[in-house]
Amino acid sequence: MKYATSILTAAVAAAALSAGEAAGDWGLVASYPTPGADPRGYYLADLNSGWLVDAAETPYVYHVAWPSGSVTASFPAPGGAGAWGVCDAPGGNLYVSNNATSYIYEATTAGSVVTSFPCPLAGPADLTRAYPGPYLYVAIPADNLIAVVTAAAGSLLSSYAGPGSQPTACCSYGACFVADSGEHTIYYQAVPIITGIATPTGLDELSTTVDATFLYIVDDATDRLYFYHSGVPVAPASLGRVKALFR
């Protein structure tokens, strides 16, 4: 979970999300095309940009700005073909998962591999880093599981069934948001909140206050990144008003 203004305790964070979800329906604010034709995982780096994996013949990790979607940096994805997930790692680095090799790589934002370890369950998709513990939540589509993995050793702490049939991404406190490509649905604590996303392959979240939550959803079918909002009413055509909430 990311907060624009402060770091909250786990209990307060969970309560904040619950309040945000109850505040109103999810509405599409904006979208933009991804830099490649096979977009996968997404990680919101700051209030104005994020990292996105594209699983092209030569997979790349792109740093993209919103709302323009312009590429500001990129590097070849470690592990090559099969690259999928991306999230933050210690020291400003990134974790990048590979669905084909079943490895998780830690790399710098310039693309240098720091370390790597095998994912304890085969076929990792998008992933998210848990706070405050050094754990990763990893979506395992083929087995309909979310794996909880130690980031240092790559050992399996636990796993549990996804809310649908094919989880491809998860994010936020306790991985409470899950994207499911089998059901074309985004879930919050097993409750469907956004439907009709054909092939959601990446997901990340930002909460600015107890009544404003934002979701970033990558759709491989349309090759676009969608920006949804719940909580404080926002005119879908006015991205400037959304950005004002971050100030």
- Residue 81 in this model has a pLDDT that exceeds 90: yes
pLDDT band for position 2 (cuts 50, 70, 90): low
- What does the longest C-alpha to C-alpha distance in the chain come to? 45
Radius of gyration for the chain, computed over Cα atoms and rounded to the nearest angstrom: 16
Domain count for the chain, please give it.
Answer: 1
Q: How many CA atoms within 13 Å lie on the side-chain side of 215?
A: 32
> Residue 227: what pLDDT?
92
Write out pLDDT tens, residues 113-132: 999 999 999 999 999 999 76
Please check whether residue 192 lies inside any domain of the structure: yes
- 37 occurs within a structural domain: yes
Mean pLDDT of the region 227-239: 59
Residue 3 inside a domain? The answer is no
Per the domain annotation, does 2 fall within a domain? no
| CATH number (domain holding residue 87) | 2.120.10.30
| Segment (H or E) for 60 | strand 60-65
Tell me whether residue 5 is in a domain: no
pLDDT in tens, 16-58: 444 444 334 899 998 999 999 999 999 999 888 999 999 999 9
Q: Report pLDDT for 68.
A: 79
**CA neighbours within 13 Å on the CB side: how many for 174?**
14
pLDDT tens per residue across span 168-224:
999 998 899 999 999 999 999 999 999 999 999 999 998 865 567 899 999 999 999
The pLDDT value given to residue 8: 28
72 domain residue, yes or no: yes
Give domain status of residue 49, yes or no.
yes
Question: Which residues, other chains included, contact 220 with Cβ-Cβ below 8 Å and sequence gap of 6+?
Answer: 38, 39, 40, 198, 199, 200, 201
Residue 1 is assigned to a structural domain of this protein: no
Domain span at residue 207 reads 10-244
pLDDT of residue 234: 43
